[in-house]
Amino acid sequence: MKEWLKAGVSLDKILEAATINNAKFFNLNDAYGSIADGKIANILLLKKNPLESIEAYNEIDSVIIHGKIYEREVFSANSKMKHQSSIN
């Protein structure tokens, strides 16, 4: 992503590439890639705004996978993946 920014790709286009355009490429945009009613709730929560800084992608707070919230730490190599809570 940093290389895209260096090449002149705007922050909003980088976000699109990581979300909806990625889902479109794999023909999964009916279920993934954006937040909408009926779509699968896989969401990366960042501590900073990715439309303000490319460094935001390095500041992961938590991840929501199929409605379950996981803290960033559970994805470390030394952690057993246990979800924190559910939003359902």
Asked if residue 14 lies in contact with residue 50, where contact means CB atoms within 8 angstroms, the answer is yes
* CATH code of the domain in which 69 resides: 2.30.40
| Number of domains the chain contains | 1
> What is the span of the domain harbouring residue 76?
2-86
User: What pLDDT score was predicted for residue 25?
Assistant: 93
Predicted confidence (pLDDT) per residue in 31-40, tens digit: 988 888 988 8
Predicted confidence (pLDDT) per residue in 64-76, tens digit: 988 889 998 887 7
What CA–CA distance (Å, rounded) separates 87 from 33?
19
Rounded to two decimals, what is the model's pTM? Answer: 0.70
Give the tokens for residue 69.
């919230």
